[in-house]
Structure 1
Amino acid sequence: MIRLIRSYKFLRLRKTSVQYFSARTNMDLKDIKSDTKSSQLKNSSSFMMNIFRGKMLSAEVFPYPDVLVADEKELILSLVDPFEKFFTEINSASRNDENSSIDGTVLNKLWELGAFGIQVPEKYGGLGLGNTQYGRLCEILGANDLSVGITLGAHQSIGFKGILLFGTQQQKEKYLSKLTTEKVYAAFALTEPSSGSDAGSIRTRAVKSDDGNYFILNGSKIWISNGGVADVMTVFAQTEQVDLATGEKKDRVTAFIVERSFGGVTNGPPEKKMGIKASNTTEVYFDNVKVPIDNVLGGEGNGFKVAMTILNNGRFGMGATLAGTMKFCIQKAVEHANNRVQFGKKIKEYGCIQEKISQMNILQYATESMAYTISQNMDKGSKEYHLEAAISKIFASESAWYVCDEAIQILGGMGYMKEAELERVLRDLRIFRIFEGTNDILRLFVALTGIQYAASNLKFLQRAFKNPANNFGIVSTEISRRVSTSIGLGTIDFNPHIAPELQNYGKKAANCIELFGKSVERLLVRYGKNIINEQYILKRLSNAAIDIYSMVVTLSRASRAIKLNLPTAQHELNMTKVLCIQASNRCMDNLRNTSAESELEMIDVMEEIAREVCNKGGVNTTHVITN
């Protein structure tokens, strides 16, 4: 009884602490709304959203999703061979890199293969593939040539994806066929010199003509993939919108379908880049471009939503692509380790090399598991995958960099040479932590979006406790949950969902989720709406979330392998065990560090160091030689 009373008081203390917030980053935080007036709590089906409440919704992760029916598997398998043959017989990634371009013969063959319309419905000339099938082809791209992958992705994953997702029937009929079969390239024009991650601050402007039939578009965009070759672009610009309720005029971003043939669309020379050199990247300029009113995409003033939906929708493909890249790097490393002899033994027999190869494969396995969990949920109709997709992008891009770097290390001096091809892959990989949402911004997006969802739950519980008699079920359930966790009886149980051999490791993940929910609640109490400014803490919270998701998807996939008695089951089991040990340790450390006094002290000192360095314009120490 005492515990029940304490739990009740524990909730009451939060009445003035839980706040709502919004943030304007290139992830759609400013448009996330909380329904504070509703008497009903809005629930999410997203697995990751719910861990911010310390809860597990298993439907999207257990059992590991298998959505492709026999015909769909047969179709994608029939496409794998010609795509792989294209890369072995026609394309040369090294030549493309050397020339900083993809020659016409290669591009023409890609058009013949249908590679520029993979997810476009067949009635418009596309292959009509789903997300999971698309991911399988992305793997092949990633394993062979990331520049070609960027060219294709810029065209369809973001370039004309808005037409697929938001286009009217008229817009789809007008554009999709030519973008799929007529060698017309597309591009996605969002980023500007003054707005990188803060997409809401774009300055390109579109003003409606007096007759209301056109928008006159002026401005410029930078770092646009396919910018020098695209004849159709999805362009985002500020437009003046009138609030119908108040009459107030406000600037809101609107998305447009812009054709080069409209006139006034030009571009600069191709950028000279560190990597993905063969993909075309340019500035694009718009000078009094007359865009027909019919080319507004997704409605006036809805451009921010359009942009973020496009980016969220395409992120899973990056995970699949980089899973393929990691396979290539691992193959190179293993070939060398199997043959290189040092000190009388093949280097594969040395523990330090074995550790590297094991870690590389674990990361590849987790990346692939994430990508296909998300894609198959999307194919099942899930609409709430934005946190999972962001996590997948972060994890994949950072894991691929690590794997490629370690592959070079295993090859030693040979890995540093062009002939081994790994130096090109490393250069190509660096951009993936930057574009389509920098990993730094995505980490904030993950943490803040989830925290807001948790905050809405606390608000709801506060209202319930004001009138416990009418909300007895809600109150009693919450108190029971708190009492159970306070005495060590966890409410999260993975055992029904995972193989018996993995149950100890499932417990590690369950413990992390429970501590995660408590940590989020504690942070809300401590910081309230100011949590948005605690980026050191938010980063650690986000890192914990990433580790939790990596554990869960691998636990699910390895359990599937055991259930199906796959020949790789024991190998998958072993990789999952190691990942869960590593990830749970990191997760616990990160969660403790969100409130540890020593960590908070360190954060304060680091902020002071950063301010001093920035104020001085660089390194600010007295040199030992001169003083």
Structure 2
Amino acid sequence: MGQHKQPGFLRTLFQGTLDSSLLLPFPWPDEEVRETTETVAEMVRDWAHEAIDPAEIDARKRIPESVLDGMAELGLFGLTLPEEYGGSGCGQWTYAHVMEALANRCASTVTVLGGHLGLGTKGLVLYGTEEQKARWFPELASGERIAAFALTEAGAGSDAGALRTTADPDGNGNWRIDGRKLWITNGGFARWFLVFARTPHPDRPDAPLMERPITAFWVPREASGLTTGEPENKMGLCGSSTTEVGLEGVVVGDDHRVGELGEGFKVALNVLNSGRHGLAACCIGQAKLARDLSLAHAVQREQFGRPIAEFGMMRELIAGMDADIYAMEAGCWLTAGLVDRGETETMLEAAACKMFSTERLWDICNSALQLTGGTGFMREYPFERILRDARINLIFEGTNQVLRMMLSVQGTRALVRGEASEGPESPRFEGAAAGLEREAEVLGELAGAFAAEARASVERHGKEIREAQHDLRRLSDLAVGLFQTAAVLSRASTCRGELSEQERDLASLACRRIEAGLRATLAECKETPDELVDRASESRIRASRPS
């Protein structure tokens, strides 16, 4: 984790540089990884179609043991864990495609795998010692023991730094952990928990609780004092296990500490960076499910003497879903390739993927339901389940509002410090495929306008920009849209084989749909409604306060 990486595309974009060399050629994996990925993903799709009944899982609010056993037999619980400890050692590219394949069948089921690999075990992968990995990975890779990520508390949701769980030395070389964790995925059956707690300040033993640093610990279910609550009654992802986790005098040895003392917050942030990208991949799987089911209905359902799929406004919905999925894939696959390559940082890109994919999935669910009409509104059809399952994606692994703050604050950091050099007046995206010259030109134009807005915002607010939430939201929306456009152009411009007319059309439409949002946001930058929003909201907030 100490390896220095060069700034990623998004961080340099805030400084006015549109560096297409960071994204071109598109980071397609080598033939061996591609073949492995296709084989495993196809195997997962075939198995899931036969073994998983998503409607039954949703209704019974639990995942059958047979499904968990099947995932273990397929080796899914060790997919990204090191081969020397019983895992498959797959990279982010394969992981993303497997998550998509499983999500395409059942969102609740893929949540188990994401909680285990993307979150629960990730702290050990990134920060565990070799002794810890050798000790715990084999049973985690086999699925004998499933992991969970225990960070959230009643008062520490988006503000993870507000957690109050404590870990104090007991004088015998152990740690005594006390606290309560909330909404823990896999909580009902996980055998290991990555728990975050406040430890004594090394230089100020009497420091107040909230000034104590955070440290990560690997806690077994069988530890005395660890309890889990009843499953939460959720709106969606009903089959996944979400519970409270109580820790009352739980004692673990120092050999259960993950990472350095006081570095738990860094552990949590880096784990969540990985989890967000995996979530984006899951959204692609669910988006394709919603699109395919609604299209199957639209080509068969006839009104006014012809299939409804032939009407112009229905075609707009169909083409929009396809174009959005193309863009979701482009951003997610691009980031996966960059993660596996390991040369540039990808924290901001992973956040961008999460925001774009979760919000586009929500739009696609809405379009699919609209395309299906009254039929889709009936519970006997899967659309309402897909819609319910999709809603939480905009909230967990960092709400999209918090990620907008993070992305813009991180992106403007060099500008605030005065460390950024002036970018070119008219940045250009070099290397776009024939037929996509207009889209590349527009990307350069809008990237220049974005850089100007970023500098103007920093000039207005300086170091206080983290409090300028209206500006942060606009800058983040612009940055995400520009990144997704660049990802689409990169994918289309270095596709495997000749770029087909169909793919060129999809890429162009994806860019133009994003462009519309970018231009609307830039127009808002010129004439903001911020004061009006603040006055209107303040009036409502005052009226809502208890007298």
**Aligned partner (choices 493, 508, 521) of residue 590 of structure 1:** 521
1:533 paired to 2:440: no
The answer as to whether partners of 2:416 and 2:463 remain within 8 angstroms in 1 is: no
Q: Which residue of 1 aligns with 2:439?
A: 505
**Map of 1:391-540 to 2, 5 A cutoff?**
391-456=352-417, 458-459=418-419, 478=422, 485=425, 490=426, 492-495=427-430, 497-540=431-474
Task: Give the whole-Å Cα distance in 2 for the aligned partners of 1:182 and 1:424.
Answer: 28
TM superposition shift of 1:459: 4.2
Q: Does 1:574 align with 2:505?
A: yes
1:293 aligns with 2:266: no
Contact 1:44 1:50 in 2 (8 A): no
Taking the TM superposition and a 5 Å limit, the aligned residue runs for 1:322-401 are 322-401=283-362
- Pairing partner for 2:497 from 564, 573, 578: 564
- Conserved in 2, the CA contact under 8 Å of 1:46 and 1:57? no
Aligned runs of 1:119-268 on 2, under 5 Å? 119-181=80-142, 183-211=144-172, 213-243=173-203, 250-268=211-229
Separation in 2, partners of 1:269, 1:43: 43
Partner Cα separation in structure 2 for residue 169 and residue 242 of structure 1: 25
Shift of 1:247: 11
Deviations 1:221-260 (A, max 9, x none): 000011111111100011112249x998840010000112
Q: Could you tell me how far 1:581 is from its partner in structure 2?
A: 2.6
Letter of the 1:234 partner, please give it.
L
> Which residue of the other structure, out of 37, 47, 50, is the alignment partner of 2:9?
47
Partner of 1:317: 278
Q: 1:421 to 1:294 in 2, by over 3 A?
A: same
One-letter identity of the residue aligned with 1:231:
R
- Seen in structure 2, the aligned counterparts of structure 1 residues 618 and 572 have a Cα distance that, compared at 3 Å, is farther
> Shift of residue 111 of structure 1?
0.8
What percentage of residue pairs aligned between the two structures are identical? 33
1:555 is aligned to 489
The corresponding residue for 1:74 is: 35
The normalised TM-score by structure 2 is 0.95
1:98 Cα offset (Å): 0.8
Match of 1:611 among 490, 514, 538: 538
CA distance in 2, matches of 1:210, 1:58: 56
Secondary structure of the structure 1 residue equivalent to 2:278: helix
Secondary structure, aligned partner of 2:187: coil
TM-score of the superposed pair, with normalisation by structure 1? 0.83
204 and 502 in structure 1: CA distance in 2 versus 1, 3 angstrom threshold: same
CA change 1:532–1:229 in 2 (3 A) is: same
- Cα distance in 1, alignment partners of residues 75 and 484 from structure 2: 33
1:306–1:52 distance in 2 versus 1, CA, 3 Å: same
List per-residue Cα deviations over 1:131-155 (Å, max 9, x = no partner): 1011111111121100001011111
Structure 2 residue identity aligned to 1:112? E
Tell me the equivalent position of 2:231: 270
User: One-letter code of the match for 1:217?
Assistant: I
Secondary structure of 1:184 counterpart: coil
Q: How many matched pairs?
A: 542
Deviations 1:2-58 (A, max 9, x none): xxxxxxxxxxxxxxxxxxxxxxxxxxxxxxxxxxxxxxxx99430000111110222
How far apart are 1:369 and its partner, in Å?
Answer: 0.7
2-structure distance, mates of 1:341, 1:78: 38
1:448–1:247: structure 2 CA closer, same or farther, 3 Å change rule? Answer: same
For residues 604 and 85 of structure 1, the distance between their equivalents in structure 2, rounded to whole angstroms, comes to 54
Cα deviation for residue 494 of structure 1 reads 2.1
1:395-438, Cα deviation, whole Å (9 max, x unpaired): 11111111111111111111112332111111111110000000
Partner Cα distance (2:333, 2:79) in 1: 17
> Matched residues in 1 for 2:313 and 2:137: separation?
52
Q: C-alpha distance in 2, partners of 1:619/1:426?
A: 34
Structure 2 runs not aligned, ≥5 long: none
Q: Contact 1:613–1:619 at 8 Å: present in 2 too?
A: no
Specify whether residues 395 and 184 from structure 1 end up closer, same or farther in structure 2 by C-alpha distance, changes over 3 A only.
same
Aligned partners of 2:294 and 2:416: how far apart in 1?
47
